[in-house]
Copies of this chain bind each other. A is one copy, B any other.
Amino acid sequence: MSVPCEQCPLRLTPLFRPFSENELGFIGRMKTDHIVVAPRAHIMHEDEIGGPVYTLFEGWAIRYHRLPNGGRQILDIMLPGDTIGLASALLGRIKHSVQAITTATLCVLEARSFPDLFSDHPALALNILQTRLAEEQRMDIRLSLLGRSDAEQRIAYLMLETFDRLRQRGIGHGGSTCPFPLQRRDLADAVGLSTVHVGRTLGSLRERRLADIQNGMLILFDREKLAELASYVPTGDAKGRRAIL
């Protein structure tokens, strides 16, 4: 069941900028569909050419890269409000796939509208660029994480970052717990470790009563200590900058 952009609840989260009538109208016309995909379904595949742009409306997805040796690197975890497929739409070719890990619903946006968006709504266009730049900074930190942190730090950081990203989107059950549908295997491919070692590390964090993941739920027992362990600093993110629904 399609949600018109005017009534989109995501739009009201602190992640998105306020829109003018005009802008909202334009974005509304870009939206051509609203689809639901099953867990594990692919939203977009490596080497796919072109295709639409999506906004993840509900559910989780991963953006990943398959390596020639059979391995997998999860490049990013995509949460509601995240844009999927910009590179594919504007560059033509991409080097990663996107896969739903829960049931997910997506807004489908016509890629052809982008040149018009840039001509007619320069402020939106600038906000899109700003959003990409903010995402680049998040990726920079992820790079440092893989290059210069040990197993505990990597996992602790990912927990905290994901927890906070959910909060920014108005998701999360108030306390120190949030949904976390990634399995050991996914976690491993996200932080560059083996499944076994992720399991051990998780066990250690659990024993030390810092955090735990069970039954698809993340629990932060001691956010303070966890943040210190991971050198986690909550980022202001791109508050109020996102321009695409």
**Chain A residues close to B by CB (< 8 Å):** 65, 67-69, 71-73, 75, 86-87, 90-91, 93-96, 114-115, 118-119, 122-123, 125-126, 128-130, 132-137, 139-144, 146-149, 189, 191-192, 231, 236, 238
Identify the closest chain B residue to A67 (Cβ): B148
Q: Are A91 and B142 in contact (CB under 8 A)?
A: no
Q: Give A106 to B187 CA distance when docked, in angstroms.
A: 41
Q: Are B95 and A140 in contact (CB under 8 A)?
A: yes
Q: Are B67 and A134 in contact (CB under 8 A)?
A: no
Q: Are B132 and A132 in contact (CB under 8 A)?
A: yes
The quantity of this chain's copies bound in the complex is 2
- Using A129-B129, A136-B87 as known contacts, say yes or no to A75 and B115 having CB atoms under 8 A apart: no
With both chains docked as a complex, state the minimum distance between the C-beta of A149 and any C-beta of chain B, in angstroms.
8
Contacts of A128 in B (CB 8 A): 129
Q: Which of B75, B96, B135, B148 contacts A71 (CB 8 A)?
A: B148
Contacts of A141 in B (CB 8 A): 65, 95
Identify the closest chain B residue to A118 (Cβ): B122
Q: Give A243 to B122 CA distance when docked, in angstroms.
A: 16
Q: Are A136 and B126 in contact (CB under 8 A)?
A: no
Identify the closest chain B residue to A86 (Cβ): B133
- Using A126-B115, A143-B73 as known contacts, say yes or no to A136 and B136 having CB atoms under 8 A apart: yes
Q: Which of B69, B91, B144 contacts A134 (CB 8 A)?
A: B91
Q: Are B134 and A133 in contact (CB under 8 A)?
A: no
Q: Give A146 to B136 CA distance when docked, in angstroms.
A: 17
Identify the closest chain B residue to A230 (Cβ): B68
Q: Give A115 to B142 CA distance when docked, in angstroms.
A: 30
